[in-house]
Chain A
Amino acid sequence: MLHTARTHDDRNTVFMNPNISNFNGIDIPSDDVLTNCMHCGLCLPVCPTFAITGREKSSPRGRIRLIKAVAEGTLEMTEGFVDEMNFCLDCQACETACPAGVKYGSLVESVRNQMRIQGKESTTALTLKWIFLRNVVSKKYLLKLVARTLGIYQSSGLERLVKKSYVIKKLAPKLSKLQELSPRIDGRFFDDIYPEIVTPTVVPKYRVGFLSGCIMNVAFAKINEDTVKVLLHHDCEVIIPKDQVCCGSLQAHNGDFDIARTLAKKNIDVFLKYDLDAIVMNSAGCGALMKEYGHYLHDDLLYAKKAEILSSKVKDISEFLFEIGLKKPVKEYCHRVSYHDACHLVHAQKVSKQPRELIRSIPGIEYVELNEASWCCGSAGTYNIIRHEDSMIILDRKIENVKIADAEFLVANNPGCLTQIEYGCANNHIKTKVIHLATLLRDVYEL
């Protein structure tokens, strides 16, 4: 509850004693970032949750003020506070809109870390996050085991049976959503198919590392394969280190910094063994985090420098191909194509021009810009499971725009967006196919 009401009409009473902060430990929201927000409100029109409620507390500016109140000790981490922090998608559209350059994402992630260590999370959210993020995704063998089981379940006909039964929806509504929004598990996992080093048929011009990912590896093996094929076609030698682990993005965005740092260090070791021109990503969330390794490990004596080096090499597939230049396709590719900006690509990595330019440059393609292309689709990591109802309201807005664009293919460079928008299209009987850029390019080059 409120200790001291913030009633400073007098300019000199603005300042609270920093010693009574309700945050504690090392990973706390930065005071400089909090002060940097001058509450001008220019973030409000781009915030998907503010668009839903129109209430200031559901806006970036409002959340920053709430975090500030907790930091100043005038507010405890109340249930209402925790709820607002979880309501946030961490899409970071507000960061793109913010002229003052406030690093909002870092604030929310630190707060989520505080919520976790101070035990302020709801039991459901905590259980889901704990099982899923801290254990399954972070441990490759476990993820594969779960994926195998889920794969058997999905292909055995048991799933259809369970989907039809109302029992599961009644008993565990969240679990039923988890099922509907689960990516389809591939028959063969990507890292079981490819060796550590894949060489093109010609003398390689570039040597690139490739993050096979956690979810990508088991559920989007096809996209990983498409990515490798496209890279090979562009004269790249592709290194897929066997020992690589999950990048840690889902954990970090949910405030689990310890595990994210451990994973980061492991990846730094395995990738820096090779002399690479770039480390290519096909998942926006992973790319965004790996570009931040330097930030997460900045005060680690052993890893700070190595993390910086690794981060500087990380590139989204669209960024990398844009830099080296696309090869000319043999045939025209006559299709109507649109593009959805994954939040962690456009807002976190500021990559928006490159994928569009690449698509536009393909002969025969009719490119149509998606209205509100950089508005979040509601997937947001595990958000569509943990806050399903809110996620669906946000998805509806995206689907309306997908309908208007009326494209044959909608390109999105992130597994979460692909699953979410595909789900929305299927439910609304929209024919648009939602595909990854690598898949589109493989089709263009007929690889």
Chain B
Amino acid sequence: MITTTIISSLASIVGNENLFTSIEDKITYSYDGTPLHSRLPEAIVRPKTKEQISEVLKLANREKFAVVPRGTGTGLSGGSIPVEDCVIVDMSQWNRIIEIDPENLTAWVEPGVITSQLHLEVERIGLFYPPDPGSMNICTIGGNVAENSGGLRGLKYGVTKNYVMGLEVVLPNGDIISCGGKAVKDVAGYNLKDLFIGSEGTLGIFTKILLKLIPKPQTSKTMVAYFNTQSDAGRTVSSIISQKIIPCTVEFLDKTTIRCVEDFAKIGLPTDIESLLLLEVDGHPSVVEEEAQKVVECCKQNNAVEVKIAESVEDAMKLKTARRSAFSALARSRPTTILEDITVPRSSIATMLEKIDAISKKYDVLIGTFGHAGDGNLHPTCLTDERNHEEIARAEKAYEEIFIEAVKLGGTITGEHGTGLAKKKFLHLVTGYTAIDTMRTIKKALDPNNVLNPGKVFDMH
């Protein structure tokens, strides 16, 4: 239990002005972007220094309460949702870009920096930070590292883990460590940095992050291809890759998603087709020209009804922005959208799409699917109403079956959103029980009192 004595100890660590305990604050820090989960925290703190974070964690170990780190609360697996008797550590105000180093192609940032703001700053000087999650205009780099977020450019450029070079971390016991650095090669000791990437706030709170940057691609070409069947779109993806072309973006949208997105963005997408692919190739102008040509041919060979090339940068941006809105736009047709994040080897995309279709029919639930087809990462989204308990129960059964099918195809239950609260009961499907025990051993070694984001990813027993 968090007593008034603990609250006053917190106040003396962070200052009264950085401690929120009003009921209005508690209610509004009770959720993140994850549907159906929420819980009231006991307090919210905004530490100003790493020492304060360390003090808060030491207090938590002494008094046995939980600490949940939070950025801007856009996560989709419940990573920043409060747990029982917890204090939220709000890191959103740590939003300084400390340094951009054009000689070493690196950037030191604080964890609360908004992802798209970093894009803007580095692109201004011709550099590029590729990870671009759908929520990039509001999500934070700290959250991206904690969840190992992906995005639309994952196929060619990889995900957040490929761009983290160093971290400064406050450990669950309050110790502060640094790992990694600007040296491109570094094999001194265990690769601790990678342990924290994707740890979903359970192993440490980041206070500084060193990111790798790359030169900005000179040019790009964005295309959209329409198909009469989902499997034609699925086969197109495999066919492009087998031609040895790696587009930076290959996004898939099904009929339901296209309708909702068009309803929001009004960019003239046809609403009577079954699926579309949004494709982008980037790099040297002559290569881009040649690859775009080949991509168009691939689409046509696989029965694309129409292939359009975006005429301007603005048009391309509109298409990509519309795609990013897909998840939220789906809430136009039904109030509650439960989004999943399965990933299969990309050669199995067409099969997985068929399975999703069959499962949605079997359980009589409406599922709209979109996703990063090039990565094999699909977001089957169940459109439902949280007030209808019976339908929610059917949706959960459908998801369980979708997870099982994805794993059978050699895939995983989550590609980029994390396990958190929402998917922990399915984790064993992918990892097996022994691997979960190994994770528990690591967690126990770093956080013996289980104070930092407990009950996320897996339970301790």
Contact = CB atoms under 8 A, between A and B. Distances in A.
Interface of A: 1-2, 5-9, 11-12, 14-15, 32, 35-36, 38-42, 44-45, 54-57, 59, 61-62, 65-66, 69, 74-75, 78, 80-81, 84, 98-101
B20 interface: yes
B25 A101 contact: no
Nearest to A15: B387
Interface string B369-411: 0000000000000000111010010000000000000000000
B391 to A, nearest CB: 13
B412 interface: no
B375 to A, nearest CB: 21
B39 A40 contact: no
B351 interface: no
B343 to A, nearest CB: 21
A377 to B, nearest CB: 22
Contact of B331 (A69, A75, A99): A99
Contact of B386 (A14, A80, A81): A14
B138 A45 contact: yes
B33 A39 contact: yes
Contacts of A56: 25, 28-29, 73
A78 B328 contact: no
Interface stretch (B220-228, B280-288, B309-317, B332-340): B332-340
Contacts of B103: none
Interface string B43-75: 000000000000000000000000000001110
Given A8-B38, A14-B386, A32-B335, A40 B23 contact: no
A7 B25 CA distance: 15
A11 B391 CA distance: 13
A84 B22 CA distance: 13
Contact of B325 (A7, A8, A42, A54): A42
19 contacts: A5-B40, A6-B39, A7-B39, A7-B84, A8-B38, A11-B392, A38-B33, A38-B331, A40-B327, A41-B139, A42-B325, A54-B92, A56-B25, A56-B29, A57-B27, A65-B30, A66-B27, A75-B24, A100-B328
Contacts of A12: 389
B93 interface: yes
B93 to A, nearest CB: 6
A98 B114 CA distance: 18
Contacts of B329: 99-100
A75 B23 contact: yes
Given A39-B32, A57-B25, A100-B329, 14 more contacts: A6-B30, A7-B40, A35-B387, A38-B335, A41-B138, A42-B138, A45-B114, A54-B93, A55-B20, A66-B24, A84-B24, A98-B328, A99-B264, A99-B332
Contact of A40 (B22, B264, B328): B328
Contacts of B139: 41
B441 interface: no
A36 B73 contact: no
A97 to B, nearest CB: 9
Nearest to B23: A2
B27 A35 contact: no
Q: In the complex, which of the residues B23, B38, B387 has the most CB atoms of chain A within 10 Å of its own CB atom? A: B23
B2 to A, nearest CB: 13
Please provide the 5 A-B residue pairs with the shortest distance between their CB atoms, ordered closest to farther: A100-B331, A99-B328, A62-B28, A99-B325, A56-B28
A82 to B, nearest CB: 10
B252 interface: no
Contacts of A8: 38-39
Nearest to B392: A11
Contacts of B92: 54
A400 B264 CA distance: 31
Given A11-B37, A14-B386, A41-B138, A57 B327 contact: no
Nearest to B114: A45
A38 B23 contact: no
Given A6-B39, A14-B386, A42 B28 contact: no
Nearest to B74: A41
A49 B133 CA distance: 25
A5 to B, nearest CB: 5
Contact of B23 (A1, A32, A99): A1
A437 to B, nearest CB: 24
Interface string B1-34: 0000000000000000000101111011111110
A281 B138 CA distance: 36
A9 B74 CA distance: 18
B24 A14 contact: no
B264 A101 contact: yes
B379 to A, nearest CB: 13
B137 interface: yes
Interface string B106-124: 0000000010000000000
A188 B320 CA distance: 53
A275 to B, nearest CB: 32
Contacts of B93: 54
A40 B324 CA distance: 12
A393 to B, nearest CB: 17
A341 B31 CA distance: 33
Contacts of B23: 1-2, 75, 78, 80
A36 B331 contact: yes
B271 interface: no
Contacts of B38: 6, 8, 14
Nearest to B321: A99
Contacts of B83: 9
Interface string B124-168: 000000000001011100000000000000000000000000000
A188 to B, nearest CB: 44
B118 to A, nearest CB: 14
A333 B350 CA distance: 59
B35 interface: yes
B14 to A, nearest CB: 15
Contact of A9 (B22, B39, B332): B39
Contacts of A78: 23-24
B36 interface: yes
A6 B335 contact: no
Contacts of A80: 22-24
A2 B27 CA distance: 10
Nearest to B337: A38
Contacts of B37: 9, 11
A252 to B, nearest CB: 25
Nearest to A80: B24
Contacts of B392: 11
A249 B199 CA distance: 50
Contacts of A100: 328-332, 337
A65 B263 CA distance: 25
Contacts of A65: 27-28, 30-31
Nearest to B386: A14
Contacts of A35: 335-336, 385-387
A255 B31 CA distance: 28
B328 A42 contact: yes
Nearest to B31: A39
Interface string B188-205: 000000000000000000
A57 B93 CA distance: 15
Given A6-B30, A45-B137, A38 B72 contact: no
Contacts of A11: 36-37, 392
A166 B32 CA distance: 48
A397 B24 CA distance: 27
A39 B72 CA distance: 11
Contacts of B336: 35, 38
A32 B74 CA distance: 22
Nearest to B331: A100
A32 B333 CA distance: 12
Given A6-B39, A35-B385, A81 B24 contact: yes
